[in-house]
Structure 1
Amino acid sequence: MQEYIPVIDISDIYQSDKNRHLQIAQRVDEACRHSGFFCITGHHISQKDIQRIKAFARHFFSLPMEDKQSVSILNNQIYRGYSSHEMEQLDYQRSIDYKEIFDMGYHLDADHPEVQRKEPFRGSNQHPEHLIAGWTKLFETHYQNMTELAKVLFRIIALGLKLEENFFNDMFFESLSTFRIIHYPGLPEQRNRVVCGAHTDYGILTILHQDDVGGLQVRSKDNQWVDVPPITDGFVVNIGDMMAMWTNDRYKSTSHRVLNIGQDRISMPFFTEPHPSQLIQCLPQCSDEQNPPKYPPVICRDWLLKRFKAAYNG
């Protein structure tokens, strides 16, 4: 597994040694070209905070359905809040997903111009503070901390692509990034059932914290499913569709899925996406006459709307 999905210590990126920065960027670049997946350690996200978020998540998902539905995603049109089992289906051909979800994004107040114009995905988070005291502060703080980690990874990616170091960060203001907690119930009688269908992620990068149960699999180049075991105090990072578009498939947006292995499971991905108006188009250094752009330019919000509507059946 480690050869196909390497574990990369990024701690030196927080230091001033530019040569070490370039060495990290080279390792990440190789992983993005090869499998589109890698694991990171040496980040600055507190393990104590991760454990507290998981405890809050388990509390929330254990509540009666009536309570969880008080923050249902159906209460709004910006894909924020709770989604019940089988509501989201990531494999468009088969309705096989079986998971509960809570989604939050970048908070915008009601008087923000984009909210006033009722633009897609823009608005306030729908937190269950009335059910679990302290939820809002904990989750909003974690969202900001994950945003900072994303910016660090964007710098590494930019270095690997020989771009200006803040190339991606400059697009990452009031972003469309989503922090999600997913509850996969243990299904002892249905071991190895697919509970999250094969799919690629929509955005730039996904930064995932798994619990210690496992179940995540990546489709390899030879069409085999490769297990991604949890890494203590680490994150799994994978390339999303937008990055594949930017790099003309130089970086792989790789299909992955989740299997039920009979135990209750919490998964916490942070999906990074730029500002909704950002144009996604092939980088000049990623195409030439022999390798023309494979994807038409697309606006971020338009691409996400297309993918979300498919996953939620319109």
Structure 2
Amino acid sequence: METKTELASTINVSPLTCIDLANSDVHQSGVSLKQACMDCGFFYVINHGISEELKDEVFEQSRKFFALPLEDKMKVLRNETHRGYSPALEQNQIHGDHNKESFFMGTEGTGEEPHGDNKFYRPNTWPDSDALPGWRETMEKYHQEALRVCKAIARIMALALDMDESYFGTSEMVGNPIAYMRLLHYEGMSDPSRGIYGCGSHTDHGMMTLLATDSVMGLQICKDKDVKLQKWEYVRSVKGAYIVNLGDVMERWSNGLFKSTLHRVLGNGQDRYSIPFFVSPSHDCVVECLPTCQSKNNPSKYPAIRCSTYLTQRYKESHVSLSTK
């Protein structure tokens, strides 16, 4: 029987490009990022400015929430705008997800802004502060920090697409984004031969995802989602780095040049925690092929579509309600 060390040496691990956000040569970073996004749409970022102390605290608070009795977690059950707790097996029939529970929170509007009452900016649902003191404050601080990092990546992304560095920074883009944060807890064993996964294969809907993980292996990517015999590779967690992947909105913007890569999570019997942070442009943003990604000989492959319309369609495909009520 293989030991864990031996097993780790035999599994297929994907080498990913590492982007240094402190690199003074942003154009060099843009070149590196462009290649990574064309290859597989997954990469690492370092020197992002999020302290290990804050990251550790978010993971600790996440563990505390998932350790609560089920009846306490059910008090903040996910509402019609997709905020709150989702118990294990909720998506079993859709994605083959098993033994995965989660908690969703997102950008909140004030009600005074033009988008304030939009379904993508509704108030969050929070656990009882007496049971989890400081929990909300920690999550809100981390949400702000994660969004700051995504905006920094978006500047390099614009250069990678031969656009002005500030292109994605407008209020119609990530200056006023839809940004969801999801706490995830996996447990149990996966068996792909029986359709049992921690999280079944999927692509993300939005622009990009900033992913924090613990040290437990589980994330896999498939660089070519269209081949019949799919090849899956693990992505390692690297201390001090975040994993970033592109979503379908970025693939549409780039006319298919950049990849929204198929990925999944396999459970290995250990508890595993991760925190993906999903960023999409403003709900009013019209997502259409960028001028630098099309030509007479390479016309746009995708019709223009309003971001909120596209995301709502994709959520419906995933059987996730985003009610306007």
TM-score, with length taken from structure 1: 0.89
Letter in 2 for 1:179: M
Q: Determine the structure 2 residue equivalent to 1:160.
A: 160
Pairing of 1:83-102 with structure 2 (within 5 A) = 83-88=86-91, 92=94, 94-102=95-103
Contact kept, 8 Å, 1:39 with 1:237, in 2: the verdict is yes
1:266 to 248, 273, 279: 273
Contact kept, 8 Å, 1:120 with 1:301, in 2: the verdict is no
4+ residue runs of structure 1 moved beyond 3 angstroms?
Answer: 1-4, 94-98, 109-116, 190-193
Q: Determine the structure 2 residue equivalent to 1:104.
A: 105
Contact kept, 8 Å, 2:21 with 2:152, in 1: the verdict is no
Alignment of 1:7 with 2:2, yes or no, is no
Give the CA deviation at 1:309. 2.1
User: What's the CA shift string for 1:34-80, capped at 9, x where partnerless?
Assistant: 11111111210111111111111001001111111111113xx2111
Q: The residue matched to 1:194 in structure 2 has which SS?
A: coil
Q: The residue matched to 2:252 in structure 1 has which SS?
A: helix
Q: Determine the structure 1 residue equivalent to 2:310.
A: 303
User: What's the CA shift string for 1:202-259, capped at 9, x where partnerless?
Assistant: 1111110111001000002363101101111111111110000000010000100000
Q: The residue matched to 1:73 in structure 2 has which SS?
A: coil
Give the CA deviation at 1:137. 1.2
Give the CA deviation at 1:178. 0.6
Q: The residue matched to 2:120 in structure 1 has which SS?
A: coil
Contact kept, 8 Å, 1:201 with 1:241, in 2: the verdict is yes
Contact kept, 8 Å, 1:107 with 1:124, in 2: the verdict is yes
- How far apart, CA to CA, are the structure 2 residues paired with 1:40 and 1:229? 13
Q: Determine the structure 2 residue equivalent to 1:34.
A: 39
Give the CA deviation at 1:122. 2.3
Letter in 2 for 1:102: F
Contact kept, 8 Å, 2:168 with 2:175, in 1: the verdict is no
Kindly report the root-mean-square deviation, in angstroms, between the aligned alpha carbons of the 2 structures.
2.0
User: What's the CA shift string for 1:159-210, capped at 9, x where partnerless?
Assistant: 111111111121223321111110112x15x566421010000111111011
Alignment of 1:82 with 2:81, yes or no, is no
Contact kept, 8 Å, 2:13 with 2:235, in 1: the verdict is no
- How far apart, CA to CA, are the structure 1 residues paired with 2:70 and 2:14? 43
- Percent of aligned pairs sharing the same letter: 33
2:201 to 195, 198, 201: 198
Give the CA deviation at 1:290. 2.1
- How far apart, CA to CA, are the structure 1 residues paired with 2:89 and 2:148? 32
Contact kept, 8 Å, 1:191 with 1:261, in 2: the verdict is no
Letter in 2 for 1:96: D
Contact kept, 8 Å, 1:4 with 1:35, in 2: the verdict is no
- How far apart, CA to CA, are the structure 1 residues paired with 2:91 and 2:169? 30
TM-score, with length taken from structure 2: 0.87
Letter in 2 for 1:78: T
Q: Determine the structure 2 residue equivalent to 1:250.
A: 257
- How far apart, CA to CA, are the structure 2 residues paired with 1:217 and 1:2? 9
Give the CA deviation at 1:86. 2.2
Q: The residue matched to 1:179 in structure 2 has which SS?
A: strand
In structure 2, runs of 5+ residues without a counterpart are 1-11
- How far apart, CA to CA, are the structure 2 residues paired with 1:162 and 1:173? 20
Letter in 2 for 1:144: Q
1:226 to 204, 211, 233: 233
Give the CA deviation at 1:289. 2.3
Q: The residue matched to 1:136 in structure 2 has which SS?
A: helix
Q: Determine the structure 1 residue equivalent to 2:146.
A: 146
Q: Determine the structure 2 residue equivalent to 1:136.
A: 136
- How far apart, CA to CA, are the structure 2 residues paired with 1:136 and 1:230? 26
- How far apart, CA to CA, are the structure 2 residues paired with 1:88 and 1:168? 33
- How far apart, CA to CA, are the structure 2 residues paired with 1:48 and 1:110? 33
Q: Determine the structure 2 residue equivalent to 1:290.
A: 297
Contact kept, 8 Å, 1:197 with 1:258, in 2: the verdict is yes
2:179 to 177, 184, 199: 177
User: What's the CA shift string for 1:95-140, capped at 9, x where partnerless?
Assistant: 3343111111112235555454xx3222111121433111111111
Q: How many residues align?
A: 300
Letter in 2 for 1:107: E
